[in-house]
Amino acid sequence: MSLAAPPESRPEESGKGREPTTEGGTGPFGFLFFVVVALLLVFGVVRPFVAEPFSITTASMDPTLRAGDSVLATKFAYRFADPERGDVILFEAPADGAPTIKRVVGVAGDTVAVRDGVLFVNGEKTREGYVDYNLTDATFFGPTDVPEGSVYVMGDNRSNSLDSRSYGPVPREDVLGGIDLRIWPLERVGTV
């Protein structure tokens, strides 16, 4: 009398009639896990610390950035360096903390003035290729000193910009990042 192995352990029948198993996190739960992890990375790490898109809603940075453009803010741009003159930055507006985009025209220790629509920094006329002087009016402002730990910002559309001329220098701790890339519309994609 010989004993037969139970049906599930017979070598010739192994694998027959069984449902395939999913290993390594595949299947619907594995995909859901992947989506959750990706969302956590994007909203928990990438957006607050690396990069975030923003839409331009005003003409204050025209012609560099126009209403309807979208830009990518690099959040880590000033973690180990300070903004420099000419940089386009993202910062919290002094009045309400709203994310705002302007150009740095003065850094700590600079004296900033506008004479007949032209920017002067430390008494010297500044050539700004990004400003359309046909749009600037004959305004006068300053001189004013930029204190330590601050930057002075203006919109490129000087006659239509609420900026440091109204609310003063922006504290360095309110600078959220740099704007280096225009990502929309497609025909205007490129560096800022």
Catalytic residues: 60, 102
Q: What is the dihedral of CA 163, 168, 173, 179, to 10 degrees?
A: 20
d(CA 179, CA 20): 51
The 10 Å Cβ neighbour count of residue 153 is 25
d(CA 79, CA 71): 19
Helix H or strand E encompassing 152: strand 150-154
